[in-house]
């Protein structure tokens, strides 16, 4: 059975989140029948119909000042018109990922923002399937899920490294595994006939400037 996935992301400082987004998409593509679209948030206006129709959306943005980056927040707020009111994304699968420079860096708050936004839309949030790594003297930075996040992918990139060097391979592999998991859940829900609302062809995102 086919399953369609969108990875919508913002990345501006070093390109770290863009690398994670590519890993999430690569993981999603390993699921049989999956069709995956990577969408930089700046280009979202070219992709609304795909977003309405797809089975899952994975949201990704950097943690800026302990929260969702402003450009990504603008995208989230554009969902607050018909998409929210008419439950257009009801029962669509959702997931998320973020990256910060600090090990903590208040990125949990950013992830919570993503969870709240998705659930306000009536989406079904998929948590990280694996247990946290790097938990003990036997653990290491090479462990999958080394940040021990459970809401989604919590990545970390040293602030003085390029996106070629950071986030590390363990975070990219974690993102890949998560992308695959979200896609498997979406495929299962689709196969089970989960109820979804079709978007009329004319639906546009809500723009504060136009109200
Ligand atoms: C404006 C700004 C605010 C930031 N705020 C935080 C923060 O609150 N906590 C943190 O650990 N890192 C913070 N960082 C670091 C970024 O989260 C980190 O470099 C991230 O990987 C950037 O992703 P990007 O390259 O995809 O934009 C901040 C960076 C910028 C530019």
Per-residue pLDDT of the chain (211 residues; tens, 9 = 90+): 799 999 999 999 999 999 999 999 999 999 999 999 999 999 999 999 999 999 999 999 999 999 999 999 999 999 999 899 999 999 999 999 999 999 999 999 999 999 999 999 999 999 999 999 999 999 999 999 999 999 999 999 999 999 899 999 999 999 999 999 999 999 999 999 999 998 877 666 766 555 5
Q: Dihedral of CA 142/9/111/105: which sign?
A: positive
Residues pairing with 68 in the sheet: 63
- The alpha-helical segments, DSSP class H, found in 5-62 are 16-29, 48-53
Domains and CATH numbers, the chain: 3-210 (3.40.50.360)
Rounded to whole angstroms, how far apart are CA atoms 76 and 114? 9
Give the pocket of ligand 1 (CB within 6 Å). Answer: 11-18, 62-66, 99-102, 105-106, 157, 159
Which ligand 1 atom lies nearest to the CA of residue 61? 26
Dist. CA 150 → ligand 1 center (Å): 20
Tokens representing 65?
């000042």
Rounded to whole angstroms, how far apart are CA atoms 127 and 115? 10
Q: What per-residue confidence (pLDDT) applies to 198? A: 86
What global pTM score does this model have? 0.96
Q: What per-residue confidence (pLDDT) applies to 199? A: 80
Candidate from 15, 24, 62 with most ligand 1 atoms within 8 A of CB, to mutate: 62
Which ligand 1 atom lies nearest to the CA of residue 20? 26
Tokens representing 169?
């391979």
User: By C-alpha distance, which of 176, 211, 171 is closest to 80?
Assistant: 211
Q: What per-residue confidence (pLDDT) applies to 1? A: 72
Q: What per-residue confidence (pLDDT) applies to 210? A: 56
Q: What per-residue confidence (pLDDT) applies to 95? A: 99
């Amino acid at each position: 059975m086919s399953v369609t996935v969108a990875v919508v992301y913002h990345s501006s400082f070093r390109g770290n989140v863009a690398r994670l987004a590519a890993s999430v998409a690569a993981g999603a593509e390993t699921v049989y029948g999956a069709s995956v679209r990577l969408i930089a948030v700046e280009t979202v206006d070219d992709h609304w119909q795909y977003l309405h129709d797809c089975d899952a959306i994975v949201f990704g943005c950097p943690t800026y000042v302990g929260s969702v980056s402003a450009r990504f927040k603008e995208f989230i707020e554009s969902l607050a018109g018909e998409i929210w009111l008419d439950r257009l994304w009801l029962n669509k699968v959702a997931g998320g990922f973020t990256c910060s420079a600090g090990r903590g860096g208040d990125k949990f708050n950013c992830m919570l923002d993503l969870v709240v936004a998705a659930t306000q839309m009536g989406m079904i949030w998929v948590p990280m399937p694996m247990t946290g790594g790097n938990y003990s003297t036997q653990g290491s930075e090479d462990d999958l899920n080394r940040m021990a996040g459970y809401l989604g992918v919590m990545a970390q990139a040293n602030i003085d490294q390029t996106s070629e060097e950071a986030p590390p391979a363990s975070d990219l592999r974690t993102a890949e595994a998560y992308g695959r998991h979200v896609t498997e859940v979406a495929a299962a829900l689709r196969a089970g006939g989960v109820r979804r609302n079709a978007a009329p062809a004319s639906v546009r995102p809500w723009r504060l400037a136009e109200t």
